[in-house]
Amino acid sequence: MVTLHDVTERRQAGERLQVVLGAQRQAVAVVAHEVKSPLTAIKGYADLLLLGGGSAGMNGREQWLARIRENVDRLAAIAERFLEADRLEGRLRARQSAHVSATELVRGVTEE
């Protein structure tokens, strides 16, 4: 006796999963880069301020604080884009519905 199993669907699902995981890894790398850049700038300017700013004076410190604020705004915008994407994805999931044939639905209700 021999039993055969069609593994086509399983293999295709595995391939789709690999594509999704690859896209997810790429997205994580992009996000890490997008977040790391402003964080590095914020840290650098904060370090300058903590060290007293050398001979930069008050004008230099104000510029560094302005740069810190710009980079914080960049981070906030990045976070807002991700939150908006999550909200949109949530709406799409809520709207997903199954396609049902009206004829089959009426026939099934009639039979019952």
Fold of 8-111: Helix Hairpins (1.10.287)
Q: One digit per residue, pLDDT tens: the chain, 112 residues?
A: 777 777 788 888 888 888 888 888 888 888 888 888 889 989 988 888 888 765 566 777 888 889 999 999 999 998 888 888 888 887 777 766 667 677 876 777 777 7
Is the pTM here over 0.85, yes or no? no
From residue 43, how far is each of 6, 39, 58, 64, 102 by CA, in Å?
56, 6, 19, 11, 61
8-50 and 57-95 helices, crossing angle to 10°: 160
At which residue do the structure tokens 């740069």 appear?
67
